[in-house]
Amino acid sequence: MTSRIVVFGATGYTGRLVVESLLAKGQRPLLAGRSHTGLQALADPHGLPFQTADVTDPSTVRALVDPGDVLVSTVGPFSRFGHAAAAAAAEVGAHYLDSTGEVDFVQEVRRRYSAQAAGNGATMVPAFGYDYVPGTLAGAVAAERAGTAAGRLSIGYFTVGSLRRGISGGTRATLAEGLALPAAVWRAGSLQYTRMASRTHAFRIHGRVRRAFLATGTEVLFLPEAFADLGAVEVYNGWFPALSRIAGPLTWVTQKLERVPAGKRILAAAAKQAGGSGGGPDAQERSKSLSHAVAELDGQDGRPAVEVHVQGPNVYTLTGELLAEGAMALQQGKAVGSGVLGPVQAFGLEGLTTLCASAGLTLASD
């Protein structure tokens, strides 16, 4: 029996982009989510199967997949709502991808489910979208080119073009909530934590110097495992140059507020306000911007050694394309490992490069 691709959260903004991409590639995924009416409206025009499932009843999520199926989850925030899908995949032996940008969720998924998934022959690759495949690809190519000369790897995320009306409600809420979280970095052989936006880094993008603030990403978890010579890995966010100038003081204030009950309530209200009504930019708005990531690798002497750029479509379009291509690769048996893995460990660098190219993410010149 041919394995199926199941899109959980299919009626949400990211889920719809994944479904759209799969349909364009000739796939017929099973659509899943809470709303029977919403699923039917999305499925019927294409003659697609659909099935209701709710994270509050994990048995309904487990019922979505059989061994060897591919479960794509876009149901977030993942730290609150993502575990039902991850647990189901590991328990059943289904492959798994998700669209999370929450590094703490990825760490918890590894801790809870990796051994069980590996034992059941399942490959689970969380954060397989714009968060954090572009930086992983650029960083891995840089590390491979540098060989044993690797020192500090600095990865920057940028956009090219206008994002004025091109940010989803979920992204706005994530940015607001993230100000109170610590940034994970890899230094001196261990994972360490520091204040978000505690410093900035200047990158050169298309001939212009653009500054980005210290953020976080799953690159700090997975790249040191794939390239043991890396001395440090840091991830920076350069979407908004103006924000990079004030992000440091903002995170200092938000982390102070996070320590008291009244402050937590203020931050929760701010994140909810930032999220708005949800949804995201339409195809026309997405066409106005591109995604760009850069990896700068210093040698062990502290001097610049390698610089790698990758560029692809709009951040949301890219996420839909990557999840669709990743699901097809898992369905076709192209994974090279099992358990909860990073993109390089799951597909190998050559396989990941090919997969990313099919999604429109390619190596680029500065």
Please, which pLDDT band fits residue 180 given cuts at 50, 70 and 90? low
Write the DSSP assignment of 119-159 as a string of letters: HTT-EEE-S-BTTBHHHHHHHHHHHHHHGGGEEEEEEEEEE
Quote the pLDDT of residue 2: 82
Quote the pLDDT of residue 179: 60
Of 149-153, 154-158, 201-205, the poorest mean pLDDT is in 149-153
Residue 271 reports pLDDT greater than 50? no
Residues in CB range of 145: below 8 A, 6 or more apart? 306, 308
Q: Supply the mean pLDDT for the chain.
A: 88
The share of the chain scoring above pLDDT 90, in percent, equals 75
CB count in 10 Å sphere of residue 82: 26
Which of 93-107, 248-262, 287-301 has the highest average model confidence (pLDDT)?
Answer: 93-107
Residue 177 reports pLDDT greater than 70? no
Residue 148 reports pLDDT greater than 80? no
Of 25-29, 81-85, 245-249, 331-335, the poorest mean pLDDT is in 245-249
Q: Which 3 state secondary structure label does DSSP give 324?
A: helix
Same domain membership, residue 183 and residue 220:
yes
Among residues 93, 109, 126, which one ends one of the domains? 126
Quote the pLDDT of residue 195: 87
Average pLDDT of span 166-172: 62
Please, which pLDDT band fits residue 276 given cuts at 50, 70 and 90? very low
Of 124-133, 219-228, 262-271, 282-291, the poorest mean pLDDT is in 262-271
Which of 150-154, 311-315, 361-365 has the highest average model confidence (pLDDT)?
Answer: 311-315
Same domain membership, residue 186 and residue 117:
no
315-331 and 13-24 helices, crossing angle to 10°: 60
- Are 238 and 156 a contacting pair, CB within 8 Å? yes
Same domain membership, residue 88 and residue 161:
no
Quote the pLDDT of residue 316: 96
CATH number of the domain where residue 265 is located: 3.30.360.10
End-to-end CA distance of the chain: 46
User: 53-84, pLDDT tens digit by residue?
Assistant: 999 999 999 999 999 999 999 999 999 999 99
Same domain membership, residue 168 and residue 137:
yes
Q: What is the 3-state secondary structure (H, E, C) of 91-118?
A: HHCCEEEECCCCHHHHHHHHHHHHHHHH
Domain containing 139 equals 133-315
Query: How many domains does the chain contain in total?
Result: 2
Same domain membership, residue 103 and residue 193:
no
Same domain membership, residue 253 and residue 179:
yes
Q: What is the biggest distance separating any 2 CA atoms in the chain, rounded to whole angstroms? A: 60
Same domain membership, residue 150 and residue 118:
no
The reply to whether 266 falls in a domain is yes
pLDDT greater at residue 357 or residue 249: 357
The reply to whether 364 falls in a domain is no
Question: Do you know the residue count of the chain?
Answer: 366
Residue 362 has φ and ψ, to the nearest 5°, of -130, 160
Q: Is this model's pTM higher than 0.85 or not? A: yes
Residue 255: exposure state from Cβ atoms within 10 A (0-12, 13-18, ≥19): middle
Among residues 64, 95, 126, which one ends one of the domains? 126
Quote the pLDDT of residue 114: 98
The reply to whether 231 falls in a domain is yes
Same domain membership, residue 235 and residue 114:
no
H or E element that contains 3 = none
